[in-house]
């Protein structure tokens, strides 16, 4: 069955006229309320991203997830993503093992490179080692999950000699996912390791990702991994409302303003309404509209890619909390039941 859930980055709302940024304290309280509602409407998982910028509220997803574990009962709680390249895998494992114990086995880790690079200078890492850091630290994280006593030597930290690592995660296993964009080496690496992969489809036409899905599956099969445990998902910018045009028009200012803020630092041209309209079409990367439109598009993508998980990234630009709560309700009570019925 296709798992359905929500990912967030903890965007802070920014007043387009004054530039005033919403307080992180307010947004964090809202996020906990939103996760609680996700659990109540029966969504399968929640993912919280890691950022180290003034316009995002969450630098430590595991703290949010620990808080969420106390107000939820069933929903899986993971990162989206943990920037493993600039963190200590030992501390990351310990933190998520703790969340796993608090939540009775509902924690997950999604390892990735992240959307931004601010974490590297914050934690004292050199961007010249960008790729090597990711490879080495992912390897160590996998060993930490498997063995309570570690013997390990790498390039970027002191060796671990007969080091005991506690606390340990529950018997449910603390799944480790890998988040990827369009980098073929990352896709193939995840397949070789047999790790579940989440593709971030955040621009252009979603069908363009088909070759990457094929590469991943081929690498997974070629390395002898059990296909009954094969898991693959997509992370796509999404928002839901009762009326398609109404919610599209209401969400556009939040979305376009955020695209322009990010684009200004990356040399992108100003975001155009035509990009948004194409993204919302059957071919595009956005799932923004009413329940029926969203159901049809998610099912089409699921059938094409053979998905086992769909993650709706729903807080781009930080839409109003009231609208977020409504979108979560529609996802859980209208969209999810229809998709589950169609994919049984």
pLDDT at 344: 86
* CA-based radius of gyration for the chain: 19
Return the structure tokens found at 75.
Answer: 């929903």
Cα 79 from Cα 121, distance rounded (Å): 21
**pLDDT of 172 strictly over 90:** no
DSSP 176-188: EEEEESS-HHHHH
Average pLDDT over residues 31-46: 98
Cα 116 from Cα 313, distance rounded (Å): 17
Q: pLDDT grade, residue 100 (50/70/90)? A: very high
**pLDDT of 13 strictly over 90:** yes
pLDDT at 8: 98
Strand, coil or helix: 214: helix
Locus of tokens 């035509």: 274
- The proportion of the chain whose per-residue pLDDT surpasses 70, expressed as a percent, equals 100
Cα 70 from Cα 300, distance rounded (Å): 36
Q: pLDDT grade, residue 329 (50/70/90)? A: very high
* pLDDT averaged over every residue in the chain: 96
**pLDDT of 265 strictly over 90:** no
pLDDT at 16: 85
Q: pLDDT grade, residue 114 (50/70/90)? A: confident
**pLDDT of 55 strictly over 90:** yes
pLDDT at 250: 97
**pLDDT of 1 strictly over 90:** no
Q: pLDDT grade, residue 115 (50/70/90)? A: confident
∠ CA 181-182-186, rounded to 5°: 80
**pLDDT of 270 strictly over 90:** yes
**188-214: per-residue pLDDT in tens?**
999 999 999 999 999 999 999 999 999
Locus of tokens 């307010």: 26
pLDDT at 313: 98
- The secondary structure of 14-79, three-state, reads ECCCCCCECCHHHHHHHHHHHHHHHHHCCCCEEEECCCCCCCECCCCHHHHHHHHHCCCCCCEEEE
Residues 37 and 328: beta-carbon distance below 8 Å: yes
CATH topology for 3-343 is TIM Barrel (3.20.20)
Pick from 106, 26, 25: nearest CA to 72: 106
Residues 336 and 295: beta-carbon distance below 8 Å: no
pLDDT at 162: 98
Burial class (CB in 10 A: 0-12, 13-18, 19+), 88: middle
- Domain ranges in the chain? 3-343
pTM: predicted TM-score of the whole model, two decimal places: 0.96
Q: pLDDT grade, residue 51 (50/70/90)? A: very high
CA 217 to chain centre: 20
**199-252: per-residue pLDDT in tens?**
999 999 999 999 999 999 999 999 999 999 999 999 999 999 999 999 999 999
The alpha carbon dihedral of 280, 285, 288, 294 has a sign of: positive
**59-80: per-residue pLDDT in tens?**
999 999 999 999 999 999 999 9
Q: How far is CA 23 from CA 214, 260, 288, in A?
A: 43, 21, 26
**pLDDT of 280 strictly over 90:** yes
pLDDT at 182: 83
């Amino acid at each position: 069955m296709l798992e359905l859930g929500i990912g967030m980055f903890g965007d802070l709302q920014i007043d387009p006229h004054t530039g005033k940024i919403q307080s992180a304290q307010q947004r964090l309280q809202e996020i906990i309320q939103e996760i609680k509602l996700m659990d109540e409407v029966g969504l399968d998982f929640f993912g919280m991203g890691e950022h180290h910028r003034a316009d995002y509220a969450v630098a430590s997803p595991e703290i949010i997830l620990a808080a969420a574990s106390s107000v939820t009962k069933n929903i899986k709680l993971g990162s989206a993503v943990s920037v493993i390249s600039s963190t200590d895998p030992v501390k990351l494992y310990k933190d998520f093992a703790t969340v796993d114990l608090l939540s009775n086995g509902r924690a997950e880790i999604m390892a990735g490179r992240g959307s931004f690079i601010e974490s590297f200078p914050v934690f004292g890492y050199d961007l010249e080692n960008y790729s090597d850091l990711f490879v080495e630290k992912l390897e160590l994280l996998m060993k930490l999950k498997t063995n309570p006593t570690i013997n390990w030597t790498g390039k970027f930290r002191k060796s671990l000699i007969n080091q005991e690592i506690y606390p340990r995660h529950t018997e449910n296993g603390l799944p480790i996912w890998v988040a990827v964009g369009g980098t073929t080496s990352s896709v193939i690496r995840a397949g070789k390791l047999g790790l579940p992969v989440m593709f971030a489809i955040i621009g252009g036409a979603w069908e363009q990702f088909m070759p990457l899905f094929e590469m991943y599956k081929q690498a997974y099969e070629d390395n002898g991994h059990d296909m009954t445990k094969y898991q693959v998902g997509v992370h796509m910018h999404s928002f839901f409302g009762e009326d398609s045009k109404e919610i599209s028009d209401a969400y556009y200012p939040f979305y376009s303003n955020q695209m322009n803020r990010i684009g200004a630092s990356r040399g992108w041209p100003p975001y155009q309404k035509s990009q948004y309209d194409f993204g919302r079409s059957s071919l595009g990367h956005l799932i923004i509209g009413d329940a029926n439109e969203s159901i049809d598009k998610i099912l089409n993508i699921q059938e094409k890619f053979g998905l086992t998980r769909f993650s709706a990234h729903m807080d781009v630009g930080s839409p109003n909390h009231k609208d977020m709560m409504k979108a979560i309700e529609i996802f859980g009570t209208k969209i999810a039941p229809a998709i589950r019925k169609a994919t049984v």
